[in-house]
Chains A and B, each alone.
Chain A
Amino acid sequence: MEKRVTFKGWLLPLLLIAPQVIISAVFFFYPAGQAIWQSLFIPDPFGLSSQFVGLGNFEFLLGDPFYRAAFLTTAVFSILVTVCSMIPALFLAVIADRLIKGSGVYRTMLIWPYAVAPAVAGVLWLFMFNTRVGVVSWYLGQLGYDWNHVLNGGEAMGLVVVASAWGRISYNFLFFFAALQSVPRSVIEAAAIDGAHFWRRFFTIVLPLITPTAFFLLVVNVVYAFFETFGVIHTITGGGPQQTTTILVYKVFSDGFVGQDLGSSSAQSVILLFVVGLLTVIQFKYVEKRVHY
């Protein structure tokens, strides 16, 4: 039997959901509506005049090979950031879970990088890999490898991925660690008595039991890679060399705030809204089927 609470009248239920509705309306529906509205116009920067162009902005964007290339860049970047932030986090959580002594210190140290803002993380990594004074690039030079992310697109991509994933490992670690702690000891001990070694127990028992957390993190990390990595890219590469690290969000910024082209920028925001919506639907429809709650 499902438990249901029934309210008498409308006032109380409306009041109870009002905060959520108001916040969504002010911070999501209103701006999203504005973006959709503005995407139909080409305005001048000062808002003195604007012309209705219908779907012209979308036509302009989708006809631009460099915009289409940004989709691919975004896909590569998001997948790499998600993989590079989730797998090490899971590994560290498994190790931390086995620790008996000193796990508190270990955990605290691992959580620290999360407190570093993306732009600051970007500057830190840029400093280490700076082609002239960077510590890491100097060592690479000693080993005979000429590091130059200013001209080499692959190296630039690698650097922004690592810088974006680094702080995120802490966040993922926290969730994985909590999930691992909640796996019932009795199940693991039963498997151990049956002779299953550690990694076997991990893959057949622990991993399936923490899939809800892993799934949650997958969604959250993809959204992170899409929207919150702006600071890292802006400080490290500015989208270059050429356009190898220009992801969709970065292009929204450069068209809107460097190019003052608010029509195109709004149209890109709308496209981004649909892409992320679509991705979330796909994740819930297909990936979630493999999740055991």
Chain B
Amino acid sequence: MKSHLLGAIAATTMLSPVAAMAQTEVQFWHAFTGRLGELVAAQVEEFNAGQSDYVVVQSHKGNYSETLNAGIAAFRAQEQPHILMVFEVGTATMMAAEGAVRPVFEVMAESGATFDSDAYIGAVKGYYTTTDGDMLSLPFNSSTPVLWVNRNAFEAAGVDPDMDLSTWENVGAALDALKAGGSECPLVTAWQSWIHLENFSAYHDVPFASKDNGFAGLDTELMLNGEAQIAHLTAMQEWAQDGKFIYTGRRNEGGANFRAGECALFTESSAGYAGIKAEAEFDFDVRPLPYWQAVASEPQNTIIGGASLWVMAGHEAEEYAGVGEFLAFLSSSGVQAQWHQDTGYLPITAEAGEATKMAGFYEENPGTDVAVMQMTANEPTANSKGLRLGSFDQIRGIIDEELEAIWSGDKTPQEAMDSAKARGDALLRRFEQANG
């Protein structure tokens, strides 16, 4: 008995260093559960099976905020992973952490893996590159807001579901008609700050914050209390007061109402596709996000939400080589096209988009290309490249609070947004002080 145990110990101690020498381990921390978690695990498995030099170990570390916190805490304890998934609002935090992260373009150049930063779609890549065009983190899952239409709800209220909904002016008319036709929930939204302020600003080519939305420096200030934003929020407030816009919460709570068929219109991420397709027992359409004709003659482009992969500092060179291989694998067009079709997230390379089109996916699943077209319609401007603001997760919390004051009628849009600016700027100044 005893000799068996000793034998087992000897065997394991002899075997383990051999295994470690043969394959270099790369730790990958992400924030996906459920179906998305399975898809990530499948990608990792495919990579591990396809070569024998490296083994990627994926672990789920909670939601986006929790994953970022886990990465930060691990860095402080010097046990950081090689690759950390960080949501887009954490971008400025990661960028400012020089010494904790390694820019992706640098890692890729050293590892010798194939990497052409021009292959990535501009509006996706722009969020994660410096003003000089160097890619800092690899876009992983990116989506953009679109308008979801419940055709049955339109018909039930006696409104033509094929009507033009490309402008908010027309949507306003549709809401009147839906309400008059007895709809209890004409319009609902998810992620109100992301859609109705951040994307709204980019889409109408007005600044959300100074210094190119924060890309050009830490001394940025919020500009979300501009004329265009106030006009939009004023209309939304009226709709909320009249029961035409139903507020359901700060995150994507409204998705449940829409998928259950209660609501006629829903502004939500294009990545809502999988869930809506699986659950909706009605005919639905995907339309581009509306714009105000009174503000812009034609829409600019929307910006992305989602997450990117950051490479953490403090590891061995050969491990970085493995990181490079894995990131190159993830952005290869086959993997990307599959990811795009499975999840509704945008393809991150133009080639993956082409491959999806060639495979006839968009024809079989009408509407799935709306987000891609909306993102790539125009070359991004300084106002529509993305946002890079410190403490942005918390600033979004402030914006949520102020928007709630608008929907409940406690504040006028101007008062609320002036207050959001003052409170958000205070946090930006603290971030500047901590990272300057």
- Indicate whether A241 reaches chain B with its CB closer than 8 angstroms: yes
**Per-position binary interface string of chain B over residues 417-436, scored 1 when its CB falls under 8 Å from any chain A CB and 0 otherwise:** 00000010011001101110
**Per-position binary interface string of chain A over residues 41-58, scored 1 when its CB falls under 8 Å from any chain B CB and 0 otherwise:** 011111110110100000
In the assembled complex, the CB of B345 is this many whole angstroms from the nearest CB of chain A, namely 24
- Indicate whether A235 reaches chain B with its CB closer than 8 angstroms: no
Judging by beta carbons under 8 Å apart, are A64 and B426 in contact? yes
B5-13, B40-48, B69-77, B223-231: which lies at the interface: B69-77
A-B contact count (CB 8 A): 87
Q: How distant is the Cα of A43 from the Cα of B430 in the complex, in angstroms? A: 10
Q: How distant is the Cα of A50 from the Cα of B436 in the complex, in angstroms? A: 11
- Indicate whether A264 reaches chain B with its CB closer than 8 angstroms: yes
Judging by beta carbons under 8 Å apart, are B69 and A257 in contact? yes
Q: How distant is the Cα of A3 from the Cα of B423 in the complex, in angstroms? A: 61
Q: Which A residues are CB-close (under 8 A) to B400? A: 240
Q: How distant is the Cα of A182 from the Cα of B147 in the complex, in angstroms? A: 67
In the assembled complex, the CB of A272 is this many whole angstroms from the nearest CB of chain B, namely 19
**In the complex, which residues 375-430 of chain B have their Cβ closer than 8 Å to any Cβ of chain A?**
391, 393-394, 397, 400-402, 404-405, 407-408, 410, 423, 426-427, 430
Judging by beta carbons under 8 Å apart, are B247 and A150 in contact? yes
Closest to B398 in A: A66
Q: How distant is the Cα of A47 from the Cα of B262 in the complex, in angstroms? A: 48
Judging by beta carbons under 8 Å apart, are A259 and B434 in contact? no
Task: Among A151, A242, A259, point to the contact of B393 (Cβ < 8 A).
Answer: A259
Closest to A53 in B: B433
**Per-position binary interface string of chain A over residues 146-160, scored 1 when its CB falls under 8 Å from any chain B CB and 0 otherwise:** 000011100000000
**Per-position binary interface string of chain A over residues 194-228, scored 1 when its CB falls under 8 Å from any chain B CB and 0 otherwise:** 00000000000000000000000000000000000
**Per-position binary interface string of chain A over residues 237-273, scored 1 when its CB falls under 8 Å from any chain B CB and 0 otherwise:** 0111111000000000011011111011000000000
Q: How distant is the Cα of A261 from the Cα of B395 in the complex, in angstroms? A: 12
Q: Given A131-B248, A132-B256, A152-B408, does the pair A42, B434 have CB atoms closer than 8 Å?
A: yes
Judging by beta carbons under 8 Å apart, are A42 and B401 in contact? no
Q: Which A residues are CB-close (under 8 A) to B426? A: 60, 64
Judging by beta carbons under 8 Å apart, are B250 and A240 in contact? yes
Judging by beta carbons under 8 Å apart, are B435 and A44 in contact? yes
In the assembled complex, the CB of B261 is this many whole angstroms from the nearest CB of chain A, namely 12
Judging by beta carbons under 8 Å apart, are B408 and A151 in contact? yes
Closest to A262 in B: B434
Q: Which A residues are CB-close (under 8 A) to B152? A: none
Task: Among B96, B257, B260, B430, point to the contact of A264 (Cβ < 8 A).
Answer: B430
Q: Which B residues are CB-close (under 8 A) to A150? A: 247-249, 253
Q: Interface residue tally of chain B, by bracket? A: 35 or more
- Indicate whether B355 reaches chain A with its CB closer than 8 angstroms: no
In the assembled complex, the CB of B123 is this many whole angstroms from the nearest CB of chain A, namely 27
Judging by beta carbons under 8 Å apart, are B65 and A257 in contact? yes
Q: Given A42-B433, A150-B247, does the pair A259, B423 have CB atoms closer than 8 Å?
A: no
Q: How distant is the Cα of A131 from the Cα of B65 in the complex, in angstroms? A: 26
Q: Which B residues are CB-close (under 8 A) to A260? A: 72, 93, 391
Q: How distant is the Cα of A66 from the Cα of B98 in the complex, in angstroms? A: 32
Q: Which A residues are CB-close (under 8 A) to B410? A: 242
**Per-position binary interface string of chain B over residues 246-285, scored 1 when its CB falls under 8 Å from any chain A CB and 0 otherwise:** 0111100100110010100000000000000000000000
Closest to B405 in A: A242
Judging by beta carbons under 8 Å apart, are A60 and B249 in contact? no
Q: Given A240-B404, A259-B427, does the pair A254, B397 have CB atoms closer than 8 Å?
A: yes
Q: Which B residues are CB-close (under 8 A) to A241? A: 401, 404, 408
- Indicate whether B100 reaches chain A with its CB closer than 8 angstroms: yes
- Indicate whether B50 reaches chain A with its CB closer than 8 angstroms: no
Q: Which A residues are CB-close (under 8 A) to B391? A: 259-261
In the assembled complex, the CB of B183 is this many whole angstroms from the nearest CB of chain A, namely 16
Judging by beta carbons under 8 Å apart, are A51 and B397 in contact? no
- Indicate whether B99 reaches chain A with its CB closer than 8 angstroms: yes
Q: Which B residues are CB-close (under 8 A) to A238? A: 250
Name the residue in B93, B394, B434 with the highest tally of chain A Cβ atoms < 10 Å from its Cβ. Answer: B434
Judging by beta carbons under 8 Å apart, are A132 and B405 in contact? no
Please list the 8 inter-chain residue pairs (A to B) with the smallest Cβ-Cβ separation, ordered nearest first. A259-B394, A46-B100, A241-B404, A242-B401, A46-B97, A151-B408, A42-B434, A47-B76
Residues of A within 8 A of B (CB): 42-48, 50-51, 53, 60, 64, 66, 131-133, 150-152, 238-243, 254-255, 257-261, 263-264
A-B CB contact pairs (8 Å), 27 listed? A42-B433, A43-B434, A44-B434, A44-B435, A45-B93, A46-B76, A48-B100, A50-B434, A60-B426, A64-B426, A66-B423, A131-B248, A150-B247, A150-B253, A239-B397, A240-B250, A241-B401, A242-B401, A242-B410, A243-B401, A257-B65, A258-B393, A258-B394, A259-B391, A260-B391, A261-B431, A264-B430
10 other A-B residue contacts (CB within 8 Å) besides A46-B100, A48-B97: A42-B433, A45-B72, A45-B93, A46-B72, A48-B99, A241-B404, A241-B408, A257-B69, A258-B65, A264-B430
